Amino acid sequence: MNKEKLCDKCSTCNQKSPLFQLLSDNELEVINDDRYAVRFLEGEVILKQGTRADNLVYVIEGFAKMYVEGFNDRNLLLDFVKPMQFVGAPAVHTGGKYNYTMVAVRETLACFLDAEKFSKALDLNREFSKHYMVKCSEEYARSLDRMVSLSQKQMHGRIADALIYLSEQVYETEVIGVDVSRQDIADFTGMSKDSAIRILKEFERDGIVNLEDKTIVIHDGPLLNSISMNG
Amino acid sequence: MNKEKLCDKCSTCNQKSPLFQLLSDNELEVINDDRYAVRFLEGEVILKQGTRADNLVYVIEGFAKMYVEGFNDRNLLLDFVKPMQFVGAPAVHTGGKYNYTMVAVRETLACFLDAEKFSKALDLNREFSKHYMVKCSEEYARSLDRMVSLSQKQMHGRIADALIYLSEQVYETEVIGVDVSRQDIADFTGMSKDSAIRILKEFERDGIVNLEDKTIVIHDGPLLNSISMNG
DNA sequence: ATTATGTTGTGATAAAAATCACAACGATGT
DNA sequence: ACATCGTTGTGATTTTTATCACAACATAAT
């Protein structure tokens, strides 16, 4: 498969994150040393919650999701992962076990970076480690926002939050794609699948969204924002 | 007041965090440069959510709490802060506004470290920045746990989680002190004050805790753990 | 002394959300 | 063509939780 050629070495990788562009070829070589890429099929587990966190996963192409396996067989969907994103924090820094499971939503090419080597690169280049720290801090800040949403808003507000996030941050268009199921939205907003469906249907009746064969098209963004704020 | 003498300079500070002990006197001098200590009275705001995050607060003595000001006049209590803890992340790294408010629960002596200077220290000493990163990652990991608790457990389980955390991590004894109010526990567990009181009373009837003039004494830790797991 | 004020506590009621029991539909496999 | 399976969707019902309306009590203020 010619796609693996993209992954010959880090310095020539054509899916190089802005973060990696801060590293010199020599520094990249440190990370390149122990890295390897693996292609995952839809539904396959890339990282499993509870296993030792000795790799940072860099998504080269595809689409994945990460979720915490919680209580009563319920999952808390944390995020969808697009190419050029890093997955592994915070466990990779505390030296513990992965805090979540990561699964390929579509066929996904993932690069496994050795945590030790990555840490070495953080040592070598302070600009790199600084920017990486900013990325981690942004993730943390988002988790605080979600804690507020999950604990203080009721279902309409939480669904609105989810749709806004998926539209603005994940799909970067008004159309939320087919690979986000109703169950995903329920897992993202901490409610039952039934309730999530009900509210999406309600939003459709109110002209806020269009539901067309499993995609969700946002029709009235301002109203959605107002529901997010007041719910 | 002789207490301020404790705070003459960082290198002789007798409330020096293990993290600061990684820094040489010269490196400490960088941080010492722009720092200042302020004594806060009970109830006074130390950091205000929404203001520019250009200081990292280091608690020298006292007791404080941090909470997100959320929706409908509700607060999400994030944590209690004891001496030798740093407060300011993640905003101080993203260069934005504080994500939460910090208030003195008792009289508190707080040291304000300039974010730029702190960042300089992170630049100078990789061991220091590595350990700091671990601290931040642990905080982030805890927020993931809390997201699961808040979104998947019902009230009994959440109250159990709160009591376990307060007992084990904050007070480090079975006695949760007077400066944690019922409203605090409600804000920590994302429920109404009324519900929090009701469940605490129920726990008392079931012999799980003792409520004696505003302190909460944990009587049956194992049962509390089981409620935390199955709730 | 007595008026506020804040916290704790309690029952009754209302609202929110989960659960249950299905139906409809499409994709997949045999 | 038919069964199977997973996802979406809906109404009825039950459970969970918030809200409301107070009372009791302590503390602080006048």
Mean pLDDT of chain A: 95
Residue B9 is predicted with a pLDDT of: 86
A88 Cβ contacts chain C strand, under 7 Å = no
User: Nearest residue of B to residue A158 by CA position?
Assistant: B151
| Chain B positions in Cβ-Cβ contact with residue A89 (cut-off 8 Å) | 137, 140
B200 Cβ contacts chain C strand, under 7 Å = yes
User: Nearest residue of B to residue A147 by CA position?
Assistant: B147
CB atoms near residue B214 (< 10 Å): 12
Q: Are A166 and B90 in contact (CB under 8 A)?
A: no
Confidence tier at A7 by pLDDT (50, 70, 90): confident
Q: How many residues belong to chain B?
A: 231
pLDDT tens-digit series, residues B24-52: 999 999 999 899 999 999 999 999 999 99
Residue A3 is predicted with a pLDDT of: 46
Confidence tier at B189 by pLDDT (50, 70, 90): very high
In our burial notation (b when 16+ CB lie closer than 10 A, e otherwise), range B30-61 reads: bbbeebebebbeeeeebbebeeebebbbbbbb
pLDDT tens-digit series, residues B136-165: 999 999 999 999 999 999 999 999 999 999
For B229, phi and psi rounded to 5 degrees? -75, -40
B183 Cβ contacts chain C strand, under 7 Å = yes
Nearest to B134 among A94, A143, A157 (CB): A94
pLDDT tens-digit series, residues A47-78: 999 999 999 999 999 999 999 999 999 999 99
Distance, in Å, from the CA atom of B132 to the CA atom of B19, rounded to the nearest integer, reads 7
Distance, in Å, from the CA atom of A199 to the CA atom of A93, rounded to the nearest integer, reads 39
Cα distances from B119 to residues A19, B30, B56, B92, B123, in angstroms, run 19, 10, 10, 9, 6
3-state class (DSSP) for residue B219: coil
Share of chain B above pLDDT 90, in %: 90
Closest C-alpha among B93, B206, B113 to residue B159: B206
Distance, in Å, from the CA atom of A73 to the CA atom of B197, rounded to the nearest integer, reads 29
B198 Cβ contacts chain C strand, under 7 Å = yes
A4: pLDDT strictly greater than 60: no
Paired tokens of A167: 């539209």
pLDDT tens-digit series, residues A117-172: 999 999 999 999 999 999 999 999 999 999 999 999 999 999 999 999 999 999 99
Our measurement of the distance from residue B186's CA atom to the centroid of its chain's CA atoms, rounded to an integer in Å, reads 16
In this complex, the nucleotide whose C1' atom is nearest to the CA atom of residue A212 is D8
pLDDT tens-digit series, residues B44-97: 999 999 999 999 999 999 999 999 999 999 999 999 999 999 999 999 999 999
Q: Are A75 and A68 in contact (CB under 8 A)?
A: yes
Which residues fall within 8 angstroms of residue A67, CB to CB, at 6 or more apart? A75, A76, A77, A78, A100, A101, A103, A187
The reply to whether the predicted model has a pTM over 0.85 is yes
